[in-house]
Each structure stands twice: as C-alpha cells, then as structure tokens.
Amino acid sequence: MKLSHISIATLLSVAAVGAFAQAKAPEPDYTLSFNAGAVTDYRFRGISQTSKKPAIQGGLDFAHKSGFYAGVWGSNVKWIKDFNGATKGSLEIDLYGGYKGEIAKDLGFDVGLIAYQYPGNNSGAAGTPGAGAVTNANTTEFYGALTYKMVTAKYSRSTGTFLGFLNSSGSDYFDLSAAFDLGNGFTLTPHVGVQKVKNNSNFDYTDYSLTVAKDMGNGFSLTAAAIGTNAKKAFYTDANGKFIGNGTLVVGAKYSF
C-alpha cells in the first residue's frame, strides 16, 4: 500500500508539472528592444548615405500589444556635406511611430509616420533671392503597408520638403519586398522600389536589392545585400566625384537585445 501511495503521488506530481509547463505565459503589455550594428556602406533606397564609407548604427523600439509602436534609430552620414554641399550635418536620427494589425488571416497592415532628422544641418539651396528662404535635409513621411504572407507592398509620401530638394513636398516612394525563410536561420529578401522626387524628375530612379540574412542566435545576425539602381550618374555624383547610386555589395552585422 505504501508503494502504491508513493506511485500515485509521483504520477500526480508529474501531471501537475506537465500542466504547468504547458500553461502559456501571459502576453506582456509592451516590449522594449535595442539594436546596434555596423554596415560597410549605409544605403537608403539604394543611394549611399556615407559616400561609400562604413556606418555605425543603433536604435530603440517600443511595441505595445495593442499594435501601437514607436522608435528611434541613428546613423552617421556624409551625403549632406558631400552631395548637398552643406558644412554641417553628419548624423541622422529617425523618429517613428505607427500602428500595425491584422485585417484577415495572413493579411496585415502597418500605418505610421517617420521623421528623418539631421541635427544642425545647413543643407539646401537658396530660395527667392533676398527672401532668406532655404530648405534643409530634414524630411517627414507618412507611410502605409500591406503584408500578405511573406510579401509586403509599402507606400511612403513626404509631407514637406524631401531631403533638401526645393518644391519637393509630396515626393513618393513605392516599395515591394518579400521575406523567404530558407531554414537554418537564413532569410532571403528581394526588393524593388521606385523613388519619385516631386518637381525634380531628373532625380527619379528605381532601386533593387537582394539580401541574405543569417540569424546567428543570441540576438546576433549577419547580412549581405547586393544593391543597385538606375539613378542618373550625372545627378547622383557627389562633390568628390563619387557616383553614389552605383551597384554594390553591402555587408552588415547587428546585435539585438
């Protein structure tokens, strides 16, 4: 009888432990995550932001279980001086926020606003002579995206001057990408985008890329991206004679925690 009691007690204990292990932990109200990394060349929509030099980057992201999110991200840049002819402006700080959710099974949406800020920059062309009117590189865009399974279509539109171009409010960017899980931590992401600069059509172009990412575990990942554009060399060559829309391979590493 004593052995039987012990056996029954043991079985009940095992069952209780199993039931506890299967119980799902409650979803947190929000998550806060950080990331830091480096790339051999910071490319934004296919155009080099660092005159083909490396960049150090990092950010902070807040996500609420309701679908609202916000974040900040930063990187060093060179294009404001080398391309726009400014004497100040070596840092990019992006501030963004939005809301994402699901419309139906496998169909999600994402809407938000992002401000590309270049603290202290004095970029831009002079406006009406004598009026003292100038533009600068600071740019704000709203965006909307739909994702079906692994494919995402996104539209962005500037609410004011776009990256220092005069009379460029309402510039558009169309983005189509996909994320394919290759297994063993590998992801393949093809992308194509079309940039339209309002009232500055010589600066319109299409960019495309193919990125392979490897999740190394413990928050560490590596990327390699083949990037190209059909940007006009005459309009995307900086003051140092560098064509910043050329085809290239960009390698990066990032740690998220």
The CATH number given to whatever domain includes residue 47 is: 2.40.160.40
In a domain, 249, yes or no: yes
| pLDDT for 50 beyond 60 | yes
Report the range of poorest mean pLDDT among 22-36, 77-91, 120-134.
120-134
Confidence of residue 135 (pLDDT cuts 50, 70, 90): low
Instruction: Assess if residue 132 is contained within a domain.
Output: yes
Alpha-carbon gap, residue 49 to 30, rounded angstroms: 33
Q: Is residue 6 assigned to a domain?
A: no
What digits encode the pLDDT tens for the residues 162-182? 998 989 999 999 999 999 999
Q: Is the pLDDT of residue 130 over 70?
A: no
| Three-class secondary structure of residue 2 per DSSP | helix
Backbone dihedral angles phi then psi of residue 11, each to the nearest 5 degrees: -60, -40
Range of the domain at 60: 29-256
Give pLDDT, residue 80: 93
**Is residue 196 assigned to a domain?**
yes
Number of domains in the chain: 1
Count of CB atoms within 10 A of residue 189's CB?
17
**CA–CA separation, 253 and 198 (whole Å):** 35
Q: Which residues contact 26 (CB under 8 A, 6 or more apart)?
A: none
Q: Tell me how far apart the alpha carbons of residues 89 and 136 are, in angstroms, rounded to a whole number.
A: 10
- Model-level pTM? 0.86
Q: Are strands 30-39 and 186-196 parallel, antiparallel or unpaired?
A: unpaired
